[in-house]
């Protein structure tokens, strides 16, 4: 190669090296915007996944006080009813006959009481005139007392007969939603046999069947996040109100009930839900999962120095949580670590807050 061309080639290589070194120096010096997370000690929770259903906190089972044949059922499961609304009727022929007899009995007892009262008044007047006897007056008073007793007994029978006629109709005790129907018209049912179940429009609760674990001992009053399985976007919150003291021998599980926050939503009745029980787990240090890196075979995070440079800090992991990592050691409250953007770090690189910091 001619000397002139050789000199040009060397000059070109030197210029190119200068450009590359200049670019590398600028890359090393310029700060990069990343998520900087302050390290804080905060209350921790231990999450337990649950699956259950939504039910009414106050349910009412309705039945006829006396057995008989059902003549009509006026509602279906899912219907909303007002207080006093007629829900079902049974054959009341016998009750109506008993009511007629009770009315007749009251009329007869009233007539007998009036006659006894008149007789007692006459004997008392004769006694005052001196033409009657004390024995006759006393007998008339006893007859009047007996007649009044019979009248009161007849009135009691009348009230019972009227009550029996009313009991032949099942009415809603308050505003509610029908959640179950266990009988059909024409069916003969026994006394107190459940016919309908109502959900009172008070509050909803989530009911879970969970394995018996020691963690449940601290679940009283714990918070639960709920997501209905048929409404993935909907989120509810609840608070544990009851943990069954005994294990169900049939399933080996424990019933956990949690009152759902917010107004009553009848459309959620019977819905399957997935819950996350947030159990208190003391205090500790949490960092986002994006902050986790590695130093050889060990986990590490990028600690941010006061001058904005980063250094790799080995850490010990306590446990993993959803989107978070709980650290046992390696960083302390007051430190700052790199969250999102940690994969772009190298020792000594400068960072500035950005990307959600």
pLDDT tier at 26 (50, 70, 90 boundaries)? Answer: very low
Q: How many CA atoms lie within 13 A of 20 on its CB side?
A: 6
> Does residue 326 register a pLDDT over 80?
yes
Two tokens at 120?
A: 């007692």
Percent of the chain with pLDDT over 90: 61
Q: pLDDT tens-digit profile of 140-191?
A: 999 999 999 999 999 999 999 999 999 999 999 999 999 999 999 999 999 9
Question: In the CATH scheme, what architecture does the domain 48-57+202-280 have?
Answer: Beta Barrel (2.40)
Region 242-262: mean pLDDT is 90
Task: Name the maximum alpha-carbon separation found in the chain.
Answer: 172
Four-CA torsion 242, 243, 246, 247, nearest 10 degrees: 130
Q: What pLDDT sits at residue 105?
A: 95
CATH number for the region 64-90+169-199 comes to: 2.40.50.100
Torsion angle of the four alpha carbons 230, 235, 241, 244, in this order, in degrees rounded to the nearest 10: 40
CA distance 190 to 15: 103
Residue 313 pLDDT exceeds 90: yes
Tokens of 98: 């008993």
Q: What are the C-alpha distances in Å from 227 to residues 52, 235, 236, 268, 304?
A: 10, 5, 6, 11, 38
In the predicted structure, residue 14 carries a pLDDT above the cut 60: no
Ordered by start, the domain boundaries in the chain are: 48-57+202-280, 64-90+169-199, 93-167
Q: What is the band of 36 on the pLDDT scale with cuts at 50, 70, 90?
A: very high
The band of 356, judged by pLDDT with boundaries at 50, 70 and 90, is low
pLDDT at 249: 87
294 contacts 241 by C-beta, under 8 angstroms: no
Over residues 66-98, the pLDDT tens digits come to 889 999 999 999 899 999 999 999 999 999 999
């Amino acid at each position: 190669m001619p000397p002139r061309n050789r000199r040009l080639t060397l000059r070109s290589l030197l210029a190119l090296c200068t450009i590359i070194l200049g670019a590398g120096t600028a890359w090393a010096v310029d700060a990069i915007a990343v998520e900087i997370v302050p390290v804080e000690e905060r209350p921790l929770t231990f999450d337990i996944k649950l699956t259950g259903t939504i039910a009414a906190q106050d349910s009412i089972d309705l039945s006829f006080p006396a057995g008989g044949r059902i003549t009509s059922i006026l509602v279906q499961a899912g219907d909303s009813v007002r207080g006093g609304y007629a829900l079902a009727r049974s054959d009341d022929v016998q009750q109506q006959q008993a009511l007629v007899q009770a009315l007749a009995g009251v009329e007869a007892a009233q007539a007998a009481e009036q006659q006894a009262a008149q007789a007692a008044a006459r004997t008392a007047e004769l006694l005052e005139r001196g033409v009657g006897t004390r024995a006759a007056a006393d007998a008339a008073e006893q007859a009047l007392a007996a007649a009044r007793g019979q009248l009161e007994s007849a009135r009691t029978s009348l009230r019972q007969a009227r009550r029996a006629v009313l009991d032949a109709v099942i009415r809603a005790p308050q505003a509610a939603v029908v959640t179950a129907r266990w009988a059909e018209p024409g069916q003969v049912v026994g006394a107190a046999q459940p016919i309908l179940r109502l959900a009172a429009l008070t509050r909803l609760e989530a009911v879970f069947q969970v394995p018996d674990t020691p963690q449940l001992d601290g679940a009283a009053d714990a918070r639960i996040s709920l997501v209905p399985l048929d409404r993935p976007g909907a989120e509810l919150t609840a608070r544990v109100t009851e943990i069954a003291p005994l294990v169900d021998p049939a399933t080996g599980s424990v019933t956990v009930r949690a009152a759902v926050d917010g107004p009553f939503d009848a459309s959620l009745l019977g819905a399957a839900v997935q819950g996350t029980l947030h159990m208190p787990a003391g205090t500790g240090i949490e960092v986002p999962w994006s902050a986790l890196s590695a130093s050889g075979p060990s986990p590490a995070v990028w600690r941010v120095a006061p001058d904005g440079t980063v250094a790799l800090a080995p850490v010990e992991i306590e446990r993993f949580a959803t989107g978070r990592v709980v650290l046992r050691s390696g960083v302390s409250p007051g430190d700052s670590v790199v969250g999102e953007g940690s994969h772009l770090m190298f020792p000594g690189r400068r960072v500035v807050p950005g990307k959600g910091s």
